[in-house]
Each structure stands twice: as C-alpha cells, then as structure tokens.
Amino acid sequence: MNLTNFNTKEEFFVDMQRCIGCKACEMACAECETNGQQTLISVNYVDRSSTIQTTVQVCMHCEDPVCANVCPADAISQDEFGVVHTASTERCIGCSNCVMACPFGVPKKVEEYDLMMKCTMCYDRTSVGKKPMCATVCPSGALFYGTREQIEEMRPNSTPINNFIFGQEKVKTKVNIMMPKGSTELRIY
C-alpha cells in the first residue's frame, strides 16, 4: 500500500458472547470510507425460535484466506499487515464463491452492483492509526480494538485465540476471539 501508519501493536478482539444485538456497529460500519455507505458487518439472531442470543461477525482476516483462494477473478488481495482487502471493483465478477466459501460467513454480495464487498478492518482508519468504526461504538465490549496489554487488563479471565477448527480444516486468523482462560482454539465441530 502507499503511505500507511498502520499500528501493528493494536489488534482486534471479538467476544460475540457479549453481543446484545443493538446494531450500533451496523450503523457505524456504513460510515467507513472504504465501504461507500454499505454496512458490511453482520449481526444476526443465532436461532430466533429458541433463544434471544445474537452474534456479531467481522472479517477475521485469515492468514491463508479461503475467500481469496476461491476467487476465480483474483479480486481479493492481502497486504503486508495481513489485512484481507475487499474485492477490486474492476475484477470482481460477482460470482459469490467467496461468500459461500468463507468459513466465517463474512463477504456480502451486493446484487445491484454485481460486486462482493467485505470488511477491510476500516483500512481508511487503521492505516492512519485509528480504530475501526464498529469497535469505537460497541457498547458491550463485544468488539474491542487495542493492545494486548489493554485486553488482558480488561478481561483477566479470558484468553484471546486465533485458531479455529472446522471439521478437518484449521484456520488461523489475524483477528482474535476471546475465550475462557487457557484456551488455545475454538472448535466449531
């Protein structure tokens, strides 16, 4: 990337258990300059008929991103900080491979643009040392952006992890999820 002031000390820490479904992050997400008024973060009920549990999902910025690998148009790229960028507007053919293959259910296809758009970790902000929009508005601490020391102090009983097991596949990410103290991974199955 061109000029950047990306703060490599700060990281993203997500704790979906804390999500109260207020959707403040959805509003904030649309303010991100790289999104052009589209909200790209996802908040949804986990199982509407049986629980009020909600969850929030940002792009996890995988080390070996499945989305970019399955893209037939080479539209998704990863930069030197490990940020996985949204589809390049001239390359993306809107096929939705990335939408269906991302193990975290992140990319969104904007039908009328025939284009996929996804979270860039607010690169317009993080590249100048600011925090992502969603993390600045989350009232419950489900989304936190800061240093490791800060999160350790705030959450002494939790450990951030970035390894995920989906059946046979192990996915390592840049973004962390807060887990019970001493955890090393989150096994989805």
Contacts with ligand SF4 by CB under 6 A lie at 59-62, 65-67, 70-73, 75-76, 84, 87, 92-98, 102, 104, 106-107, 116, 118
What does the radius of gyration of the chain's CA atoms come to, in whole angstroms? Answer: 16
Q: Is residue 68 near other proteins by the rule CB under 8 A? A: yes
How far is the C-alpha of 67 from the C-alpha of 74, rounded, in Å?
A: 10
Q: Decide: is 89 part of the binding site for ligand HEM (CB under 6 A).
A: yes
Q: Is 67 in the site for other proteins (CB under 8 A)?
A: no
39, 42, 162, 173: residue in contact with other proteins (rule CB under 8 A): 42
CB of 185 to ligand SF4, least distance (A): 16
Given 80, 90, 112, 149, the residue binding ligand HEM (CB under 6 A): 90
Smallest distance from the beta carbon of 11 to other proteins, in angstroms? 18
| Distance of closest approach, residue 91 Cβ to ligand SF4, in angstroms | 7
Instruction: Pick what 186 binds: other proteins, ligand SF4, ligand HEM, none; C-beta below 5 to 8 Å, kind-dependent.
Output: other proteins
Q: Could you tell me if 102 and 66 are in contact, meaning their C-beta atoms sit under 8 angstroms apart?
A: yes
Q: Of 126-155, which residues contact other proteins (CB under 8 A)?
A: 127-128, 155
d(CA 44, CA 187): 21
Q: Does residue 8 belong to the site contacting other proteins (CB under 8 A)?
A: no
Binding residues for ligand HEM, rule: CB under 6 A, are 89-90
